[in-house]
Amino acid sequence: MPAPYSYDLRIKAVNAVDRGERKINVCRTLNLSRNRLDTWLKIREKTGKDIVMEKYFVDG
């Protein structure tokens, strides 16, 4: 199983999209899959939290 993404990386990615950066550019710059970024954005939308957490990050 690959190591989970760091908390800082999640925040950087989500904040970059919030600033208006294109998702594809954020993914290329931070070496993320588009699916992963979309998942983080959906989690934030559902929970309404600024901090992107999910079970894989919390549970290890």
Per-residue pLDDT tens digits for 12-50: 999 999 999 999 999 999 999 999 999 999 988 888 776
Determine, yes or no, domain membership for 18. yes
CA distance 49 to 51: 5
Domain hosting residue 13, numbered range: 1-47
Determine, yes or no, domain membership for 25. yes
pLDDT value at residue 60: 42
List the Cα angle 9/11/51 in 5-degree steps.
130
Number of domains in the chain: 1
Determine, yes or no, domain membership for 56. no
22 by Cβ neighbours in 10 Å (0-12 / 13-18 / 19+) ranks as exposed
Determine, yes or no, domain membership for 53. no
Determine, yes or no, domain membership for 54. no
pLDDT over 60 at 58, yes or no: no
Determine, yes or no, domain membership for 57. no
Specify the higher pLDDT residue, 59 or 3. Answer: 3
For the whole model, what pTM was predicted?
Answer: 0.76
Determine, yes or no, domain membership for 5. yes
Specify the higher pLDDT residue, 54 or 24. Answer: 24
